[in-house]
Amino acid sequence: ETKKNWWKNAVGYQIYPRSFKDSNHDGIGDLNGIREKLPYLKELGIDFVWINPIYASPNVDNGYDISDYQAIHEDFGTMEDFQALLNEAHNLNLKIIMDLIVNHTSDQHPWFLESKKSLDNPYRDYYHWADATREVPPNDWQSFFGGSTWTYNETTEQSYFHVFAKEQPDLNWKNPKVRHEIYQMIRWWLDLGIDGFRIDAISHIQKEPWDFKITENQWAPFMNVAGIELYLEELKAIFNEYNVMTVGEASGVPHQEATDWTGENGYFNMIFELEHCERIGTVGQQKGSIPHLKHSLNQWQTSLEADGWNALYLENHDTPRSVSVYGDDTPEAAKALATILLLLKGTPFIYQGQEVGMTNYPFSSIEEINAADTIHFYQTLLDQGMIDTEALAIAVNWSRDHSRTPFQWENTLHGGFSTVEPWLRVNDNYPMINAAQKDLESSSIFHYYQTLIRLRKQTDALIDGTFELLLPEHPTVFCYTRTTETERWLILVQLGREETTVSFPDSWDYAKWVEIISNSETKSLHSKLCLSNYEAHVYREI
């Protein structure tokens, strides 16, 4: 029997199955590929894996458009393969978290195929329909993927609502039948023995009335809208019947409300907030903003201190690679970021390839892009009159495809991901950056991750200790302490490309601080320290 709140001590790993490991030579990663690599995840020190959607889907949004919730996509394998994966993972004491996508379905889902047939179809109210003409939508709200949130249907002369692509119609949560169907489906998966869910886009399930007037925030009409708590409470009641872990993707939920969402009586065990990795500054900017990262993570760490729990991440399948956004693609930068991520308070999620230092891809043509939102964004920029090279530079800057290139396992053709041409190009840097480096170098990024994970697991202060941000005004140094009644730890990371100096209070007894981990030369803690680019140190007071 697994103990309650097991997820507080756990380290998670996110698998984007299409790009993880191809076992049957079709250029697409699959479930048997994941099975092959479970020992690799154990070696790293992982406790649970979150797998991006593997359900039947026309793949307009790579699996986030589901056409059958209870079937495995043939690209990934069969239900038997899934069962085998679950069993093998459990035998290795690895848990499996599935993606739960219930804000919308695919437009090819049988419910929607029925719904669009006629005004009086029994499935009509499974989705949101409103009177419209071909020219004039019910209102002027814009979708996350660009363009109107409404798509006109000729047959019934109404439009349906979608916050993402037009092939992803939003489910109508007001309809009790819809909720009943969803809850049954959720139970079906939980009864199968999975260990939890990452709940997709869940802050969008409630919508304002269609005549709601947008003031500042264009997403306000479908982002954390009042009334959502009823549905979230119903979901919580189901999850509570099972000893599973839940992490809600809660875009637009402010840290002031985090307790409702993740506290002792919150809707989920933890949430993915999206603030800290928001695009700051001009659209074309290359670097992530370190002051913003510090400020925002600090807010989330402190507001959840009393009641709540953070889900920690620096990159995922929707973002570029953190070593490229905040770093300079080097192993030192990758290790510096790992030091920050793995010692914060919360449950860390490592995104596949992050532990070997995988970088952004140098896209040079729109043909190399697969992500629907990037292609749409590029087209919008062209339509606005921008020249091709400029539009491409801006569109690919934050493209989701940077993190979706195939996993670089070793220095062989296609990085060892597949024996045939993969669905998305492998980054040309695979001869240098790949998982097999760990067997060649004891100083590999992988080993650094392994060491941090081990340290975290054997140190209560790094699980439960209070977080405090130090040097809050420093533009590039990310420094914090983790403290319990008996221990104090100091995490000190220069995230900048230059040398910098930091100072700590003269009153500290520096003889008491010992260095535990560093990504560079050993350096004792002093009231004045000079740090070079991407230098990271972890100290403990004894």
Residues labelled catalytic: 200, 249
**Whose CA is closest to 32, among 99, 83, 81?**
81
CA distance 142 to 224: 16
Query: Which residue, 115 or 403, is less far from ligand ISL as judged by CB?
Result: 403
Binder of ligand ISL out of 144, 189, 212, 508 (CB under 6 A): 144
> Are 427 and 408 spatial neighbours (Cβ–Cβ below 8 Å)?
yes
Query: Which residue, 40 or 242, is less far from Ca ion as judged by CB?
Result: 40
273 binds, options ligand ISL, Ca ion, none, Cβ within 5 to 8 A by partner type: none
For position 275 contacting ligand ISL by CB under 6 A, the verdict is: no
CA distance 11 to 7: 8
Binder of ligand ISL out of 64, 161, 239, 309 (CB under 6 A): 64
For position 214 contacting ligand ISL by CB under 6 A, the verdict is: no
Shortest Å, Cβ 28 to Ca ion: 4
24 binds, options Ca ion, ligand ISL, none, Cβ within 5 to 8 A by partner type: Ca ion
Shortest Å, Cβ 427 to ligand ISL: 20
For position 200 contacting ligand ISL by CB under 6 A, the verdict is: yes
164 binds, options Ca ion, ligand ISL, none, Cβ within 5 to 8 A by partner type: ligand ISL
Please count the residues of this chain forming the interface with ligand ISL, following the rule CB under 6 A: 12
Shortest Å, Cβ 122 to ligand ISL: 26
For position 274 contacting ligand ISL by CB under 6 A, the verdict is: yes
CA distance 176 to 260: 23
> Are 392 and 284 spatial neighbours (Cβ–Cβ below 8 Å)?
no
For position 173 contacting ligand ISL by CB under 6 A, the verdict is: no
Query: Which residue, 408 or 481, is less far from Ca ion as judged by CB?
Result: 408
For position 375 contacting ligand ISL by CB under 6 A, the verdict is: no
**Whose CA is closest to 69, among 109, 96, 123?**
109
| Residue 271 phi, psi (nearest 5) | -130, 155
For position 355 contacting ligand ISL by CB under 6 A, the verdict is: no
For position 107 contacting Ca ion by CB under 5 A, the verdict is: no
For position 26 contacting Ca ion by CB under 5 A, the verdict is: yes
Query: Which residue, 82 or 326, is less far from Ca ion as judged by CB?
Result: 82
CA distance 33 to 25: 10
Query: Which residue, 24 or 218, is less far from Ca ion as judged by CB?
Result: 24
E strands, 205-342, in order: 245-249, 270-272, 311-312
Query: Which residue, 320 or 496, is less far from ligand ISL as judged by CB?
Result: 320
Q: In what order do the strands lie in the sheet with 311-312?
A: 270-272, 245-249, 196-199, 95-100, 48-51, 12-15, 347-351, 311-312
CA distance 517 to 539: 7
**Whose CA is closest to 115, among 84, 176, 160?**
160
192 binds, options ligand ISL, Ca ion, none, Cβ within 5 to 8 A by partner type: none
For position 22 contacting Ca ion by CB under 5 A, the verdict is: yes
**Alpha-carbon dihedral sign for residues 449, 450, 455, 458:** positive
Segment 306 to 335, residues that bind ligand ISL, using CB under 6 A: 317-318
Residue 354 DSSP class: G
Query: Which residue, 64 or 448, is less far from ligand ISL as judged by CB?
Result: 64
Shortest Å, Cβ 351 to Ca ion: 20
**16-25 as b/e, with b when 16 or more CB fall inside 10 Å?**
bbbbbbbbee
Residue that is written with structure tokens 């169907």 in the block: 181
CA distance 301 to 292: 14
Residues that bind ligand ISL (CB under 6 A): 61, 64, 101, 144, 164, 200-201, 249, 251, 274, 317-318
Residues that bind Ca ion (CB under 5 A): 22, 24, 26, 28, 30
